[in-house]
Structure 1
Amino acid sequence: MDYHQYDKNDFLEDASLLAYVKGDDPVVTRFWEDWAQQQPPNIDEFRKAVFLLRHLLSAERISVRPGTEQEVWGRISQAIDTAAATPVRTIGLRRWVAAAAVFLLLAGAGTGYYIYRYTGTQTVYAAYGTKKQIVLADASVVTLNANSSLRYARRWGKNSVREVWLDGEAYFEVQHLKKDALPLKAGERFLVHTGELDIEVLGTAFNVKDRRGITTVYLKTGAVKVGTNATGVLSIKPGEEAEYRQQEGVLTKHPGDADAAAWLDNKMVLHNTPVKEIVQVLEDTYGYKVVLTDTAVANRRINGVLPLKNTETLLYILSNMLDVDINVNKSDSTLLFRPGK
């Protein structure tokens, strides 16, 4: 079989390509990865087919009445009979029938069908020591901090609630879609789900941090409501911060730290900050394991600015601030803090 001669529709009819996209068979996966690495002349056709199949696999499930499968195939058979008297359309029909077969195969038997509406989700992950900026379908912008991920729909319908799921920390600049004084419509809502907390916004800039069982939401501009099923909802104003502690199930609000999103500028601004919070940043942002030989250091409080872009510079400045020696074990990413000599 010469896949080098295939176009997009040929690939869509190939069962092994479907198995590759679904990830069912490691042998098939290895074959197609090796084939694609050769950069064949029809690689773009291959990529189009893979793109289409992936969207089909992540399409939206709906409920259907019993007998729908038979009805669909009945219509296909009727179309084939009608097309028999029109030879010029036979090739196009064959492609359509094949696509219908793929559609039903992806849906599965007895569990309902999927409507192909490009409603699949995407997850973006920012690794340790990195940041990533994401532009959502509504032109809202999300900047992910290190060791964080965001899951979101590739596109939203006009009347669909805009929803995203955050794990870690991110700064949001949300597009304000409400242009009238009428009650809020579904398509004008923007929801952030993180940990156990739900955050609802209009046009707003805010920072969300979900680490170690504590979720904080600092509001820079706009309006935000936060809450859980158990705590009810709190409204916060610009300059305020909501904090939710999962273990206690308690949601509170208080004046916020205007420098909560200083990480966007690769820095951490310290306002009488305990060292243990800096240790958490080193672990959460860079993946280090920090060991303090003098545990009293953890409760020391310091002021100043720590640069976050370069870890060597960060550790050098921190060493001088605390008057400690910091040894780096690169084999297991351990930082050992010892009293300075």
Structure 2
Amino acid sequence: MYPDPAYIKALFIKHANGSITPQETAELIAFLQQEDNEDLLPLPDEIADIPAPAMDNAATARVLQQLAAVTAPAAQPARRRNLLRRVITVSAAAAAVAAAVVLLYRPGGQKPALATVATGYGSMKKVTLPDGTTVTLNANSTLQYDSTGWQPGSREVWINGQAFFEVAPDAAGKFMVHAGDKLAVQVLGTRFNVAARTKGVQVVLNSGKVKVGLPDNNNEHTLVLQPGEMAYYNAGDGQLSRQHADTLQLTSWKDNQKVFRDATLADIAAFIEEQFGAKVTFAAPQLSHLQFTGTTPVNDLDVLLNILTKSLDIRIDKHNNQVTMMLAR
């Protein structure tokens, strides 16, 4: 049995003025999720007449941005799409109601429609975001961003893997990087590196300033980094710490160079597996403790292995996706 149209309009009004109960919110969500209730949706003129508290310009811009993104999917019924398009033209006083429509049409707190850029093993890509920010994406990494709702005050990207960001100046303070699902990086400056891998998340600041925090929004779990510092989240114990950073060593990959300083072969093996997807084994356990200092191309495994062979006087056998390190005969 369909609900009374007057009751549905009353729910919209209560949602706008903040007096709606949790049970009524659930009813409104359930109504909007039904595809055969188009005739019961409030008319655009009714939406415009619904009183709502005034909002500042920034909040209104965010609401209108969300509405623009919602109207994009062609799968929505025509009347609903037309209603939402017309709602975009409402005054700021009615924008709170528009926001309610948007949020209820995205059940479960879903992310907006995201553009995805990914790299395979041994490759890199440079991406220019809508505001002019450039992102250099390392191998075996994924970048996502909202390509339809990119507006001041709501710039967000999601990174799994490693990326170097050079943020456009007018985006400072309005740009958020989600590193995996463990850290949020608020950009207060310009150039920084994010590496979100299984064992932990690393944020290295080259210039400017960034604020790094855990998803719980607790200020006690937030660090403001200065150039030459690094925030590291240990996935094992859940701790976030501040450390000194060798920015050349940690971010030279973006210039197609990998800098090793007293790196053990065990460390280099981890890099090879992460960067190239190759499995490394040691024929003699003591080999894993050998140390190497030098610079190699970041995306040429054969050159790296050749340099290691000559520098450490070892033998390395590479077959398909398997690398075996052995003592020299």
TM-score (normalised: structure 2): 0.66
Q: Does 1:338 find its partner at 2:307?
A: no
> Which residue in 2 is equivalent to 1:225?
211
Could you list the per-position Cα deviations for residues 189-238 of structure 1 after superposition, in whole angstroms to 9, with x for gaps in the alignment? 21111131111113310011122321111100110111112761011100
Once residues 100 and 254 of structure 1 are traced to their aligned partners in structure 2, the CA distance between those partners, rounded to angstroms, is 45
CA offset at residue 257 of structure 1?
A: 1.1
Q: Is the alpha carbon distance of 1:248 and 1:101 closer, same or farther for their aligned partners in structure 2, counting shifts above 3 Å? A: closer
SS, match of residue 247 in structure 1: coil
Q: 1:133 aligns with which of 105, 112, 126?
A: 126
2:280 paired residue number: 290
Change (3 A) 1:243 1:104: same
Q: Structure 1 pair 232/74, CA: closer, same or farther in 2 (3 Å)?
A: closer
Change (3 A) 1:105 1:213: farther
Check conservation: 1:175, 1:202, Cα contact below 8 A: no
| 1:166 paired to 2:159 | yes
Provide the C-alpha distance between the structure 1 equivalents of 2:73 and 2:252, rounded to a whole number of angstroms: 52
| Residue equivalent to 2:189 | 203
Answer whether contact 2:38 2:79 (CA < 8 A) is retained.
no
Aligned-pair identity (%):
32
1:103 shift after superposition: 2.7
Distance in 1 (alpha carbons) for counterparts of 2:154 and 2:283:
50
Residue 157 (structure 1) shift: 4.5
**Structure 1: unaligned runs, 5 residues or longer:** 1-61, 76-98, 180-187
Check the 8 A contact 1:175/1:203 in 2, yes or no.
no
* Residue segments in structure 2 that go unaligned for 5+ positions in a row: 1-27, 45-71, 82-102, 107-111
Does 2:239 correspond to 1:250? yes
Whether contact under 8 Å (1:144, 1:170) holds in the other structure is yes
| Structure 1 position 70 matched with structure 2 position 70 | no
Residue of structure 1 in register with 2:262 after alignment: 272
1:286/1:105 CA distance change after superposition, 3 Å: farther
**Residues 200 and 74 from structure 1, CA distance in 2 versus in 1: closer, same or farther, beyond 3 angstroms?**
closer
| Paired residues of 2:234 and 2:240 also in contact (CA < 8 A) | yes
- 1:178 and 1:264 map into 2 onto residues whose CA distance is 22
Structure 1 residues 158 and 243, CA, compared in 2 at 3 Å: closer, same or farther? Answer: same
Whichever residue aligns with residue 193 of structure 1, its letter is H
- Matching residue of 2:94: none
Instruction: After superposition, give the CA deviation of every residue in 1:267-287 in whole Å (9 maximum; x if it has no partner).
Output: 211221222221111101111
Would the aligned equivalents of 2:130 and 2:150 in 1 still touch at CA under 8 Å? no
Alignment of 1:53-132 (within 5 A): 69-71=38-40, 102-104=75-77, 113=105, 120-132=113-125
1:238 match: secondary structure: coil
In structure 2, relative to structure 1, the CA distance for the partners of 1:103 and 1:233 (3 Å cut) is same
Answer whether contact 1:324 1:338 (CA < 8 A) is retained. Answer: yes
**Residue pair 1:104, 1:113 contacting (<8 A) in 2 also:** no
Q: How many residues align?
A: 241
Cα RMSD between the aligned structures? 3.2
Check the 8 A contact 2:198/2:235 in 1, yes or no.
no
Question: Which SS does the other structure have where 1:70 is aligned?
Answer: helix
**CA shift in 2, pair 1:323/1:154, >3 Å:** same
Q: Which is worse superposed, 256-265 or 158-167?
A: 158-167
- Which amino acid letter does the alignment assign opposite residue 244 of structure 2? P
Identify the residue that residue 18 of structure 1 maps to in structure 2.
none
Match of 2:294 among 290, 304, 311: 304
- 1:152–1:101 Cα change, 3 Å: closer
Q: 1:307 to 1:101 in 2, by over 3 A?
A: closer
2: CA distance, partners of 1:287 / 1:65: 48
Closer, same or farther in 2 for the Cα pair 1:201/1:221, shift >3 Å? same
Q: Could you tell me the TM-score, scaled by structure 1's length?
A: 0.63
SS of the counterpart of 2:324?
strand
Distance 1:274-1:103 versus aligned 2 partners, 3 A rule = same
In the aligned structure 2, how far is the partner of 1:178 from the partner of 1:213? Answer: 30
Query: Structure 1, residues 92-119: CA drift from partner, whole Å, max 9, x if none?
Result: xxxxxxx9995318989xx9657xxxx6
Alpha-carbon distance between aligned partners in 2 of 1:193 and 1:177, rounded to the nearest angstrom: 19
Residues 100 and 262 (structure 1), Cα distance of their counterparts in 2 relative to 1, 3 Å cut = closer
Map of 2:139 onto structure 1: 146
Task: Report what 1:234 is aligned to.
Answer: 223
